[in-house]
Structure 1
Amino acid sequence: MKTNPLHQQTHTPQRQKMGTSNDHHDVPPSTLLQDLNVTIHKSSMVFPSKEIERKSLFLSNIDKVLTFDVETVHFFGAHKDFPPHVVAERLKSALEDALVVYDFLGGRLKVNNDTKRLEMDCYPEGAGFVVASSEHRLDQIGDLDYPNPAFAQLVHKNKDFLKQGDSPLFVVQVTSFRCGGFAFGISTSHTIFDGLSFKTFLDNIAALAANKPLAVTPCHDRHLLAARSPPRVTFPHPEMLDLPPFPDSSNIFNTSIEPLHFNVFKLTSSHIAKLKLEAQKDNTCGTTRVTGFNAITAHLWRCKALSGDHNPNRSSTILYAVDIRSRLNPPLPMSYTGNAVLTAYAMATCRELEEGPFMKIVEMVREGVTRMTDEYARSIIDWGEIHQGFPNGEVLVSSWWRLGFEGVEFPWGKPKYCCPVVYHRKDIILLFPPVDGGDGVSIIVALPPKEMEKFHGLFHKFLMA
């Protein structure tokens, strides 16, 4: 029986469901299924279906500090033509074929003795593959879009997979439920993919599982994001934190040891339209386009900043990811495999966030995006060549809202829901598509109890103003 160390962590789960009448209800901790009763049946290595050439893969300055693992869970309902054991066989075969095209998936991270840079050795040591089962039905584990720590049991950790000290870059676990439904738990080193390239990978795995050609031919040339020689830092970068060489990035995003409250806030399409309308009221020139993401991010920023230390002169920095593929000159191929996302930022005092017009906050968020030109992106990459930099701010908004994981069409259908395994990280706010589809957004927030109480009040106050 597999146990979950998160069971010992202190957390008070709550679910806030927003409606037009400002109603909400909480799910008591006792109703949250804390043990999925997962049994591991088989762990093995998957190797390429064809012989591949051994080589080393260059990592960009964006890739090489993202050495932590990203764990995602993809839930599927029962399918009469694809029982879980057939799905596991088809998925394993598809992964064997994918390892020919994505040769680094079976490789390992290493430091080049000559350049002292981290890179990927693409020699096929193998990707991990795990077959497991749960004693529960899929409908017994609760709302799939609730950040249940027990979902960690559906993902096998990369570290020490089959032998001590071996850390595969990619491990997939197929867990079957008593109802015939199943879940893929995928653990990848962030050095491999960003969100967009992981979506492309899923599209390709789905195509291979259906015995079809690749949906997209991936571009693996990470020299496209190499630093310039010599590096030229042409902008100040207050959003970056200087780190020692080869940092343990997992410690940067370390889980909190203080008790936190989880909340899942729901914004419907009507709520998002209301936020955009509020901004437009203050848009005297009428030339600034207000996007849903910018309005949501501005709303979350003021709630997060004002729920903490209420010093009106305190400066708050919000971070959010920007895809740079189309912002470079020449543009990167949309099929670029590595990390082509940089962190934009906006800075303001708590007084500005509390007293200023909402449109001003939206404009600051928008300016962070428009700032990300080719030269600015190259400057950040060059800064990383000199300083080993990592994004630094009060809060990071990480959006999975429009990545489209839930739209991937496997032979056994599209997933019911996709989500990352959520840990205690109070400075990261996550955006997801709602579990039932639609144009709304689910927002996961984790904060200490008093801060969460303030955040909740501000969230409703600003939305209903």
Structure 2
Amino acid sequence: MATACQEPPPLIQDLKVTVHDTSLVFPSGHIPREPFFLSNIDKVLNFDVQTIHFFPAHPEFHPDRVAEALRAALAKILVHYEFLSGRLKLDAATGRLEIDSNSEGVGFTVASSECCLDDIGDLVFPNPAFERLVTKSLDSLPPDNQPLCIIQVTSFACGGFAMGTSTNHATFDGLSFKMFLQNLAALAADKPLVVDPCNDRRLLAARSPPCVSFPHPELLKLDVPKGQDSSRPIVFNDASEDLDFKIFKLSPNDIACLKERAAKDASGPGSSYPKARVTSFNVVTAHIWRCKALSSCADIDDGSSKSRASTLLYAVDIRPRLEPPLPRGYAGNAVLTAYATATPGELEEWPLGRLVEMVTEGAGRMTDDYARSAIDWGEVNVGFPHGEVLVSSWWRLGFADVEYPWGRPRYSCPLVYHRKDIILLFPDMITAASQNGGDGVSVLVALPGPEMAKFQSLFHKLLAGDHH
């Protein structure tokens, strides 16, 4: 039934990458130098995110030509995204993180690998060696003067290539980054922008005075002494625990079965879960939440590990939920964290339809009022989202749908870091053989060994419908 979890394929250990050139690209036109306001959502996301886009060889676009086209397109696009060529700084008077739009440029690296694209193996399987395909910082610049975006083009021996990007999360969320890539691809093809970016982050400014009108159990308040730099949140406690990591694949058929089961729970005669929205994301997230909460319960339970609270977190795009909605081209972070809380005991007992209803309700809570309250919370407090597990979905962002002059990527993926409180969803490779079945999902889980064994067994047992 379920696609078994994937053991790592033999991963190539060394991509044999040589860096040939690293430089700065500057905007091709004038950008007024002024402080650029960051919203309370942007400012807690002051860390870098890396993505890699793999392309097969193209007869008209040798990787050198691709690098030239990208460099030229970057210089042009920086005029439209005036914040991107600036630098992060703290405003001394307010202590707020902002961007100095000083046009000091973004990074651009050209590299080559002795490998062929086909030597790398399964692109879906996160490979630590992919680190070499991304430039995370420029050695020529001091740590406090790093670009907000660095792009690396690495050519492979077969003529294929990878575009690795490192961007500070304060600049983009997944949706606005996809729009940035669509615009970059359009400029590289000498076409007009696909979407005009809206750079006004004040659309998500806190109200004055701030009004926190809801409880926010999804947010954890930090006690930061006044004057201490809180611009680098300790969002991620990188405990140096030994973690196993595995990929669990859900085929379109697996997802259809989960949906069918949840729909039966939700719409049966006298159903008590009328609010459940049975979507692929909701059923997969409910399934993962149950497995994660139960995998961390003690084997011999005195009842305490099943009666604690387990909080699930997941991102919700607030663009269409605000009144008025944000412009389609809003270029900053417009996602907030929705939550659902239950005890492992309840998660074990309840049918899937009830869990799907809880995930539905978490997103449904995200109204204009609630979103504004969460933003105002960030004005009054220093803190960040906090729960037992965050489901971070790259599944439907569609990075692989971006049409460059040299075609679409064969695959696009995040450069993965393993954290036991973050579970990543990302798309499966869409191959010609599975045109209709391209909507499966890969679930990346990192857990200590004993918990992983439990998670794996629960994942398959619950997928097969064996609830107890």
Structure-1-length-normalised TM-score: 0.93
User: 1:268 is matched with which residue: 251, 255, 280?
Assistant: 251
Partner in structure 1 of residue 435 of structure 2: none
Partner in structure 2 of residue 280 of structure 1: 263
CA distance in 1, matches of 2:62, 2:307: 59
Task: Please state how far the C-alpha of 1:275 moved relative to its aligned partner.
Answer: 0.7
Partner in structure 2 of residue 153 of structure 1: 132
8 Å contact kept, 2:35–2:101: yes
Percent identical: 61
User: 1:102 is matched with which residue: 81, 87, 93?
Assistant: 81
1:48-197 equivalence runs, <5 A: 48-158=27-137, 160-163=139-142, 165-197=144-176
Partner in structure 2 of residue 11 of structure 1: none
- Secondary structure at the counterpart of residue 106 of structure 1: coil
* 2:240 corresponds to 1:252: no
8 Å contact kept, 2:170–2:332: yes
Q: Which consecutive unaligned segments of at least 5 residues does structure 2 have?
A: 299-304, 432-437
CA distance in 1, matches of 2:64, 2:403: 19
Partner in structure 2 of residue 39 of structure 1: 18
User: 1:404 is matched with which residue: 383, 386, 398?
Assistant: 398
Task: Please state how far the C-alpha of 1:359 moved relative to its aligned partner.
Answer: 1.1
Task: Please state how far the C-alpha of 1:255 moved relative to its aligned partner.
Answer: 3.7
Partner in structure 1 of residue 369 of structure 2: 375
* 2:210 corresponds to 1:199: no
- Partner letter of residue 221 of structure 1? D
Partner in structure 2 of residue 449 of structure 1: 449
Task: Please state how far the C-alpha of 1:418 moved relative to its aligned partner.
Answer: 0.5
**Structure 1, residues 164-194: CA drift from partner, whole Å, max 9, x if none?**
5421101001011101000011000000000
8 Å contact kept, 1:43–1:162: no
- Secondary structure at the counterpart of residue 182 of structure 2: helix
Task: Please state how far the C-alpha of 1:23 moved relative to its aligned partner.
Answer: 4.5
8 Å contact kept, 2:86–2:148: yes
With over 3 angstroms needed to count, the CA separation of the structure-2 counterparts of 1:250 and 1:186, relative to structure 1, is: farther
8 Å contact kept, 1:151–1:421: yes
Structure 1 residue ranges (4+ consecutive) displaced by more than 6 angstroms after TM superposition: none
CA distance in 1, matches of 2:52, 2:238: 19
- Partner letter of residue 25 of structure 2? V
Task: Please state how far the C-alpha of 1:142 moved relative to its aligned partner.
Answer: 1.3
Partner in structure 2 of residue 393 of structure 1: 387
- Partner letter of residue 251 of structure 2? T
- Partner letter of residue 423 of structure 2? I
* 2:275 corresponds to 1:294: no
8 Å contact kept, 1:255–1:424: no
* Alpha-carbon RMSD: 1.5
Task: Please state how far the C-alpha of 1:115 moved relative to its aligned partner.
Answer: 2.2
With over 3 angstroms needed to count, the CA separation of the structure-2 counterparts of 1:164 and 1:114, relative to structure 1, is: closer
**Structure 1, residues 197-225: CA drift from partner, whole Å, max 9, x if none?**
00100000000000011111000011000
Partner in structure 1 of residue 328 of structure 2: 334
CA distance in 2, matches of 1:153, 1:307: 34
Task: Please state how far the C-alpha of 1:249 moved relative to its aligned partner.
Answer: 4.2
**Structure 1, residues 269-308: CA drift from partner, whole Å, max 9, x if none?**
1111111111122211574331111111000000001111
Task: Please state how far the C-alpha of 1:22 moved relative to its aligned partner.
Answer: 5.3
With over 3 angstroms needed to count, the CA separation of the structure-2 counterparts of 1:377 and 1:22, relative to structure 1, is: closer
CA distance in 1, matches of 2:414, 2:360: 26
* 2:340 corresponds to 1:359: no
Partner in structure 2 of residue 417 of structure 1: 411
- Partner letter of residue 355 of structure 2? I
8 Å contact kept, 2:310–2:342: yes
**Structure 1, residues 326-354: CA drift from partner, whole Å, max 9, x if none?**
00011111210010000000000010001
CA distance in 1, matches of 2:461, 2:140: 48
- Secondary structure at the counterpart of residue 373 of structure 2: helix
CA distance in 1, matches of 2:412, 2:233: 22
* Count of residues in Structure 1 that have an aligned counterpart in Structure 2: 444
With over 3 angstroms needed to count, the CA separation of the structure-2 counterparts of 1:24 and 1:315, relative to structure 1, is: closer
CA distance in 1, matches of 2:352, 2:241: 32
CA distance in 2, matches of 1:422, 1:402: 17
8 Å contact kept, 1:57–1:120: yes
**Structure 1, residues 141-167: CA drift from partner, whole Å, max 9, x if none?**
111010111111111013645445421
- Secondary structure at the counterpart of residue 389 of structure 1: strand
- Partner letter of residue 431 of structure 1? L
Task: Please state how far the C-alpha of 1:21 moved relative to its aligned partner.
Answer: 6.3
- Partner letter of residue 7 of structure 2? D
8 Å contact kept, 2:43–2:231: no
With over 3 angstroms needed to count, the CA separation of the structure-2 counterparts of 1:256 and 1:128, relative to structure 1, is: same
- Secondary structure at the counterpart of residue 348 of structure 2: helix
- Secondary structure at the counterpart of residue 307 of structure 2: coil
CA distance in 2, matches of 1:211, 1:263: 42
- Partner letter of residue 146 of structure 2? S
- Partner letter of residue 126 of structure 2? P
Task: Please state how far the C-alpha of 1:440 moved relative to its aligned partner.
Answer: 1.0
- Partner letter of residue 433 of structure 1? P
Structure-2-length-normalised TM-score: 0.92
Task: Please state how far the C-alpha of 1:114 moved relative to its aligned partner.
Answer: 2.5
8 Å contact kept, 1:105–1:169: yes
8 Å contact kept, 1:433–1:441: yes
- Partner letter of residue 279 of structure 1? A
- Secondary structure at the counterpart of residue 309 of structure 1: coil
Partner in structure 1 of residue 8 of structure 2: 27
8 Å contact kept, 1:161–1:168: no
CA distance in 2, matches of 1:164, 1:290: 46
- Partner letter of residue 289 of structure 2? W
CA distance in 2, matches of 1:434, 1:175: 23
- Partner letter of residue 232 of structure 1? C
Q: Which consecutive unaligned segments of at least 5 residues does structure 1 have?
A: 1-19
Task: Please state how far the C-alpha of 1:356 moved relative to its aligned partner.
Answer: 1.2
